[in-house]
Amino acid sequence: MTAILHCGDEERGRIWADVFARDMPEVDFRCWPDIGDAADVRYLVAWTMTPELIAALPALEVLFSIGAGVDQLDLSLLPPHVRVVRMIEPGITTTMAQYVAMACLALHRDLPFFHAEQRAGRWSYRPVRLCSERSVGFLGLGELARASLAALAPLGFRLHGWSRSGATIPGVQCHAGAGQLDTFLAQCDILVCLLPLTDDTRGILCRDLFAKLPRGASLVNVARGGHLVQDDLIAALDEGQLSAAMLDVTSPEPLPEGHPFYTHPAIFLTPHIAGVTRRETAVHALMDNVRVVMAGARPDGEIDRDRGY
Ligand code: NDP
């Protein structure tokens, strides 16, 4: 019998095993370390993996990531034929779109400034601008950026996006590739990073990039901490090139005690809660994908292992 092995949070494993037993009894859902006969285990669902785990699964064909990204996985541990699929499910997409809308509105309405003024005991004004007077630009135009753009569109922001291959999204001015990055950046009052973390994108949020944004622009990083050069952000905020940053991701997580991000007046931190995998919806997304793979088709969210996303 074909088996899928779950590795990670025990409670989630138990809940998902019950759902599979009820809705897909033709697949045996097992929870690490109870592998059973390893020759049956064709699928693995996990957040991370160890060399010992992969060595114990000689029949492995597909690794399903619990998360929307795969950068936490050392893909070099996997034999080349093993396919890798990231999690695309409505829980992550909906919560991410809501977070990005919240962050853009907070920055647009100068919440960091008013918060700092309140802390200082001052009753200060700033002129209120319409959303239509402000541009929001997305680095990355994938699943999560598109959902976030759809959440922002009714508010009236001018919307821009940049990706490797380009995209056509109604109401969004899209730019493609390194050659159009500077033009894109020059138009972003609020820059949202939703890139995957790869060798090409690590450290992209750096001094050079900040210098190409309009003076006083702000940043939302909801992708990965590794995209950001931390000292460059602090310098850009202190010099006034950037006015504020909302960071849901950092490197490392959690940040160590005493890290300057905790107390910087222009930085708002959240503990990697922007887009959250919901057990209830994710198990059905996983099951749908297992059915697709068993039918010999391409699962939703399969990554290109050479490209890294
Ligand atoms: P997708 O894979 O759907 O989209 C990635 C986008 O980035 C694509 O538009 C792609 O371009 C673009 N891209 C990749 N590399 C480059 C590059 N070198 N230059 C320009 N563009 C590039 O990803 P998702 O939208 O689903 O997710 C994005 C990231 O969000 C995840 O990888 C993860 O790290 C993060 N995330 C964070 C969460 C949180 O709670 N903070 C929760 C979930 C995810 P192209 O279209 O041309 O391929």
* pLDDT tens digits, one per residue of 29-44: 999 999 999 999 999 9
How many Cα atoms occupy the beta-carbon half-sphere of 208 within 13 Å?
A: 4
* Ligand 1 center–CA 267 separation, angstroms: 23
* Ligand 1 center–CA 70 separation, angstroms: 10
- Give the active site residue among 264, 272, 291, 305: 272
Atom of ligand 1 nearest to the CA of 166: 47
CATH class as words, domain 91-269: alpha beta
Atom of ligand 1 nearest to the CA of 248: 41
Report d(CA 91, CA 89) in Å as an integer. 6
Report d(CA 10, CA 32) in Å as an integer. 9
Which helix or strand (DSSP H or E) is residue 112 part of? helix 111-119
The 62-65 sheet, strands edge to edge: 28-31, 3-7, 41-46, 62-65, 83-85
The 217-221 sheet, strands edge to edge: 172-176, 158-163, 135-139, 190-193, 217-221, 242-247, 267-269
Give residue 54's pLDDT: 96
Give residue 66's pLDDT: 94
Atom of ligand 1 nearest to the CA of 275: 40
Determine whether 272 is an active site residue: yes
Atom of ligand 1 nearest to the CA of 140: 7
DSSP sequence for 238-279: HHTSEEEEEES--SSSSPPTT-GGGT-TTEEE--S-SS---H
Distance from the Cα of residue 273 to its chain's centroid: 10
Homologous superfamily of domain range 3-88+277-294: NAD(P)-binding Rossmann-like Domain (3.40.50.720)
For ligand 1, atom 12: residue with the closest CA: 140
Give residue 137's pLDDT: 99
Give residue 198's pLDDT: 97
Instruction: Give the residues across from 158 on adjacent strands.
Output: 135
| Residues in the ligand 1 pocket, defined by CB under 6 Å | 68-69, 92, 96, 140-145, 163-165, 194-198, 200-201, 222-224, 248-249, 272, 274-275, 309
* Ligand 1 center–CA 99 separation, angstroms: 16
**Residue 194: which of 96, 306, 87 has the closest Cα?**
96
**Low-confidence residues in the chain, pLDDT < 70:** none
User: Where does the chain hold its CATH 3.40.50.720 domain(s)?
Assistant: 3-88+277-294, 91-269
- Substitution site in 100, 144, 272 for ligand 1 pocket (most atoms within 8 Å of beta carbon): 144
Report d(CA 40, CA 64) in Å as an integer. 16
* Ligand 1 center–CA 116 separation, angstroms: 32
pTM for this model (two decimals): 0.97
Report d(CA 282, CA 264) in Å as an integer. 36
pLDDT in tens, 206-233: 999 999 999 999 999 999 999 999 999 9
Give residue 194's pLDDT: 98
Q: Please give the ipTM for the structure prediction.
A: 0.99
Give residue 146's pLDDT: 98
* Ligand 1 center–CA 145 separation, angstroms: 8
Whether 149 contacts 172, CB under 8 Å: yes
- Give the active site residue among 30, 108, 224, 227: 224
